[in-house]
Amino acid sequence: MTVGIIDYGAGNIRSVVNALKGLDVRVHISSDPEVLSMTDKLILPGVGEARSAMEALYRTGLIPWLRSSVQPFLGICLGMQLLFDRSTERSTDCLGVLPGTIAIFNSGKVPHIGWNSVEHDSSDPLLSGIRSGAYFYFVHSYRASLGDFTLGRTSYVEEFSSVVRSGNRWGVQFHPEKSGDDGFRLIKNFVDLC
């Protein structure tokens, strides 16, 4: 089993790699579509802001490849947000895998930082063995609305999507690699998919 970590010059790559240790997987960190296409699964970690991340992905030639790739994919934090059509953060067009616009929280203190619960009633394999209401670690100012793609939801100022899915692409708004046992379980579930 090989997991490709998409390197766009930012992101929490080291902590994601550390979380994958002990799962008997090989990890390839790359921005080269040819290298990443040889992996079994893909993770797009996320730290930073939408415009810079999309510009970095554009420079590497990854955008058209990511839109058409068939490997199971997990986007983390900003990596999840980039799956949507666009972000109001510097008016950025994103990957367009999921419908909708990522927007800043309507009110309240931003960023949303700290532990918060994820409610779900899903039998999705990504959430297998994780109880509804489990706590995960969040750091973000922008959020996805609820939709048909929503697997998990969290409330902070307003309710938003904290776990999403479209086909073989999943996204989580929180940082599973910083979320203790439940976060490790989610990463293991992703590795075990298919």
Which residues 6+ apart lie within 8 Å of 101 measured at CB? 84, 85, 86, 87, 88, 145
Which residues 6+ apart lie within 8 Å of 144 measured at CB? 80, 81, 84, 98, 100, 102, 160, 161, 164, 173
| Active site (annotated) includes residue 77 | yes
Place of tokens 């390839």: 28
User: 94, 158, 177, 194: which one is catalytic?
Assistant: 177
Q: What CA–CA distance (Å, rounded) separates 189 from 148?
A: 22
User: 28, 55, 77, 158: which one is catalytic?
Assistant: 77
| Active site (annotated) includes residue 34 | no
User: 28, 119, 175, 194: which one is catalytic?
Assistant: 175
| Active site (annotated) includes residue 112 | no
- With 0-12 / 13-18 / 19 or more C-beta atoms within 10 angstroms meaning exposed / middle / buried, residue 182 is middle
Q: What CA–CA distance (Å, rounded) separates 92 from 142?
A: 13
Secondary structure class of 154 (helix, strand, coil): strand
Contact between residue 161 and residue 152 where contact means Cβ atoms under 8 Å apart: yes
Q: What is the DSSP letter of 148?
A: T
Catalytic residues: 77, 175, 177
